[in-house]
Structure 1
Amino acid sequence: MKIVISACLLGVRCRYDGGDSRNDTAIKQKETDELIPVCPEEAGGLSTPRPPAEIVGGDGDDVLNGKAKVMTADGTDVTEAYLKGAQHALQVAQSHGATQVILKARSPSCGCGDIYDGTFSGTLTTGDGVTTALLKRHGITVTSL
């Protein structure tokens, strides 16, 4: 099976802080499935490392609807980069015929079910990241690690 996966889960150093989120479960999945790594934030044009960002005013669906923004801790609006990266991830999934995607938990782009609340206080709230919301709108199953 072809599965699109957050590159950071496979050990790629593309997290906002220049690190990775290597996950042994994800690494082991390479034995049975074809994993296609993607980093929506880098694909959207953001550098690594980069300032931390959170969705302010809602979740990924709200960003897609123009009702919320993705902002860095220093107040820079990076919404367009997140939208561009989400579109890239969707195109990758569709071009490979992937109907399942595994993304990094709690991320403003990849979070699935829980994301940080936009206050930069470490508080979680219910919601999806921008990429997750877009993929779900297109019928792709998203889980997080």
Structure 2
Amino acid sequence: MTARILVSACLMGHAVRYDGASKPLIHPAVDRWRREGRLVTICPEMSAGMPVPRPPAEIEGGRTGADVLAGRSRVLEKTGGDVTSEFRRAAENALALARETNCRFALLIDGSPSCGSGFIYDGRFSGERIAGEGVTAALLRANGVEVYSDREIETLVARIGGDTGNGVGGWQ
């Protein structure tokens, strides 16, 4: 089975980010994977019914998605609204879609309180980045999906590069 990749909708050019924008990832591998039917697109927040645009949100207290999943932190909007349950539902939706479509990999936008996998923001809406991952990235990783940020596209290309259509890394 050819490796499938769950990908953030904003990276595919969909205007689904909190500010109504997209962040298209232009790369030959993305074009090839699209032609081969390997990409499964999702905006976790939209899958949970969140609107576009929506207030910016961050994980409080310099914590991470794993803390949110464990109930030790919340996801708060800049306006003060608590959107923790929506972000948890978003992560569960992404995991369910990954399982349904046999996505062993995820290519997610970094910085997002959902999709960030290398960095997220510090929870003070200060613009300061901290090492960590968002709620969706954390749940996917905890369930065996290999998560890569948009900045790690070359690493993902190398990882999948040996895919002969008979599985990747021993996956069948």
TM-score, with length taken from structure 2 = 0.81
Select the structure of larger CA radius of gyration. 2
Q: Once the 2 structures are TM-superposed, how far is the Cα of residue 113 of structure 1 from its aligned partner?
A: 1.7
Equivalent residue, structure 1, for 2:10 = 8
Question: Could you tell me how far apart the structure 2 residues matched to 1:11 and 1:27 are?
Answer: 12
Q: Which amino acid aligns with 1:72?
A: E
Q: What is the identity percentage for the equivalent residue pairs of Structure 1 and Structure 2?
A: 43
Equivalent residue, structure 1, for 2:110 = 105
Q: Which amino acid aligns with 1:114?
A: F
Question: Could you tell me how far apart the structure 2 residues matched to 1:120 and 1:3 are?
Answer: 31
Taking the TM superposition and a 5 Å limit, the aligned residue runs for 1:48-67 are 48-57=52-61, 58-67=63-72
Equivalent residue, structure 2, for 1:89 = 94
Structure 2 unaligned residues grouped into runs of 5+: 151-172
Of 39, 44, 47 in structure 2, the residue corresponding to residue 35 of structure 1 is 39
1:130 aligns with 2:132: no
Question: Could you tell me how far apart the structure 1 residues matched to 2:68 and 2:56 are?
Answer: 17
> How many residues are treated as equivalent by the alignment?
145
Is residue 54–residue 72 contact of structure 1 (8 Å, CA) maintained in 2?
Answer: yes
Q: Once the 2 structures are TM-superposed, how far is the Cα of residue 89 of structure 1 from its aligned partner?
A: 0.2
Q: Which moved more, 1:26-35 or 1:91-100?
A: 26-35
Q: What whole-Å deviation, never above 9, does each CA across 1:2-48 have from its counterpart, x for those lacking one?
A: 11100110001100001111110274242455100000011111100
Structure 1 unaligned residues grouped into runs of 5+: none
Question: Could you tell me how far apart the structure 1 residues matched to 2:79 and 2:85 are?
Answer: 17
1:20 aligns with 2:22: yes
SS of the equivalent of 1:100 reads strand
